[in-house]
Amino acid sequence: MKLYRIVLKDMARRKKRVLFAALGVAIGTMTVVGVLTIALAGQARIYNELEKYGANLAVTPAINNVDTHLGDLSLGTLAVGENYIPEETLPQIRQIADGEIRKARGITDQGDIATIAPELYINTEVKGTSVMVVGVEPNEENKIKTWWNVQEGKYLEGTDQALVGAVAAKLLTLNTGDTVTLNGSTVTVTGILGETGSNDDYQIFVPLETLQKAYGKEGLVSSINIRALCNACPVEIIASAINQNITGVRAIAVKQVAEAEMGIMGRMNRFMWALGGITLMVGLFGVVNTMMSSVNERIKDIGIMRAAGASRNQIMRVFIYEAVIIGILGGIFGYLAGTLLAYIVGPLVFQGININFVLQYLPLSLALAILVAAIATVYPALRATRIRVADSFRSL
Amino acid sequence: MLEVNNVSKVYGEGSAKVVALSDVSLRVNDGDFIAIMGPSGSGKSTLLNIIGGLDYPSSGEVILNGKRIDNLAENDLVDVRRGKVAYVFQQYHLLPSLTALENVLLPLIFCGANGRSSKKALDILKKVGLEKRAGHKPSELSGGEQQRVAIARALVNEPSLILADEPTGNMDRKTGAEILLLFEQLNQEGHGIIMITHDPEIAKQAKEIVVLQDGRIVGKINSE
């Protein structure tokens, strides 16, 4: 028979106490596991959201702007002449963007990674009203503007079709099936977009090729929106690579939204960690309390063991074994309860969150619980071994 | 051989000062059977605790087999408890969660039990007449049986000196006599015994009776 068997037998006799101590440990680990699980699911959700924010790189012609100033007062920027980007730069841009993403993420496959959506802007008059017509690559545009939904009719499917923004449709009283004349070419309205709250509401979208032909702008685009696949993608590196290697264009990383969102996430994570830490501390004091009374109850038993030849180290080991068992019980409880907590509280923090069992948190939970139980046990146990054997019998 | 030289024990300080033992000297040869008698509070248990290293004297010295043990550090006292000295208490002091056999095994577990330990523990239980009760917990045993388990536990490390603090104090006369018989048998086998008792009949069995009063030895009676 070994020392740990004595511990097990003794704990079996004190099931309630042991359970109580384990629950004290579980409360702390539950919060930590719950917080981590919610944070992880929340992060996944925010990444998902960010995917929908559209382009995170914008390429525009390197136009010669004349900044007009009056003293310190800026009067805005005056664009000189019309500026376009030749379409033949598109493969080059793709090469740079995909190359940098591959480098950053360590992937080697050869497929297209970034979504690259060129746009051509033409300011024209439709039914006597000035309106912006935008030529787009229908597939690429749709991938970038994930928030688009076609309220009426269909999305762009072929040439000579038009998709009309919600406000533009109302102002111009356009319905699906109506035709619009653009510089002599006729396009048919196939769909009306739902309201987006952006400039898109005031614009008419037609296939790039159709618009280029109608206005004689073959091979030219006004701007290029690029969406790297991931949010951790090195948009700034891609931007500077494009600026260095392609003349006549200016690439800007659009990352304010992502940064703000991730900033909120970061603060939220720190807050949750703090919350988990505090709960763990509170739990620790609870366990110290439980272990203290557990040790006090057994001062006589400790005396018996020492009179029978137990050294202080052996008595400490008895309590460490007990702490480990309490830690394992508390860790398992804490993990299960923490996941349950995340399941209940998670949706209140992030809407539409998807909570999963995170198995990697089980060892973490166990380690944390054992650590808490051990810390809580060491002090009372150490104190108990300092009592003179004679006193441990006398106190009863 | 055990020597107790000018041992005093004082609890508390100032006006709350209580003198439990005052200048007590005692000599116990190997294999002696000594009885300590005296009224309650006369310092009997304190003396026994100091002899066994369960408590420290305020002054004086305790020498066991030529080695001072009164000033030993806790870790060195463990060695004394593991071999030379064993205790039997009035309250038995068995661990309630362990069986009789496991309680007897306890000292061997702390010394590093090996494969033969269980056999040895069972043999000793047989010696005290309890082999049939080996698998019972203390709560399932009578007072006399519990004390036999406690004696078996004391014997398992083959101590040269057994310290017994009123081992029959909680028993009826018949059971007490049986326990006493066991102690006499152990004494004949060569174990030294120091026993605290209130019962003059029991004390008579000892080779020497030491009478304590107010922390002082007021008489030594050689019963032989």
Strands B2-11 vs B18-28: parallel, antiparallel or unpaired: antiparallel
**B49, B92, B161: best to mutate for the A interface, most A CBs within 10 A:** B49
Spatial distance between the Cα atoms of A112 and A95, rounded to a whole number of angstroms: 9
DSSP A219: T
pLDDT computed for residue A256 by the predictor: 58
Spatial distance between the Cα atoms of B187 and B168, rounded to a whole number of angstroms: 16
Considering the entire predicted model, what is its pTM? Answer: 0.70
pLDDT computed for residue B152 by the predictor: 94
SS3 label, residue A390: helix
Residues of A in contact with B81 (CB under 8 A): 306-309
pLDDT digits 0-9 by tens, A344-388: 988 887 777 778 888 888 999 999 999 989 988 888 888 888 888
Residues of B in contact with A388 (CB under 8 A): 54-56
> Is the minimum CB–CB distance between B105 and chain A shorter than 8 Å?
yes
DSSP B186: H
Tell me which residue in A9, A307, A393 faces B98 most closely, judged by beta carbons.
A9
Distance between B54 CA and the closest CA of chain A, angstroms: 5
Using alpha carbons, list the distances in angstroms from residue A88 to A83, A84, A91, A118: 15, 12, 7, 11
Q: Do A6 and B109 touch (CB under 8 A)?
A: yes
Distance between A315 CA and the closest CA of chain B, angstroms: 10
If one compares A382 and A261, the residue with the highest pLDDT of the two is A382
**Mean pLDDT over residues B20-28, rounded?**
92
pLDDT digits 0-9 by tens, B79-88: 888 888 999 9
Judged by average pLDDT, the poorest of A221-235, A341-355, B92-106, B209-223 is: A221-235
How do the domains of chain B map onto residue ranges?
A: 90-157
Q: What percent of chain A has pLDDT over 70?
A: 88
**Mean pLDDT over residues B46-66, rounded?**
91
Using an 8 Å Cβ cutoff, are A202 and A121 in contact? no
pLDDT grade for B89, boundaries at 50, 70 and 90: very high
pLDDT computed for residue A396 by the predictor: 44
In this predicted structure, the answer to whether residue B141 has a pLDDT above a threshold of 50 is yes
Tell me which residue in B46, B56, B95 faces A304 most closely, judged by beta carbons.
B95
**Mean pLDDT over residues B134-160, rounded?**
93
pLDDT digits 0-9 by tens, A113-135: 788 899 999 888 888 888 899 99
pLDDT grade for A148, boundaries at 50, 70 and 90: confident
Q: What percent of chain B has pLDDT over 70?
A: 99
In this predicted structure, the answer to whether residue A96 has a pLDDT above a threshold of 50 is yes
Using an 8 Å Cβ cutoff, are B134 and B100 in contact? yes
pLDDT digits 0-9 by tens, A38-88: 888 877 777 666 666 666 788 888 765 545 455 555 444 444 446 888 888
A347 residue type, one letter: P
Q: What percent of chain A has pLDDT over 90?
A: 20
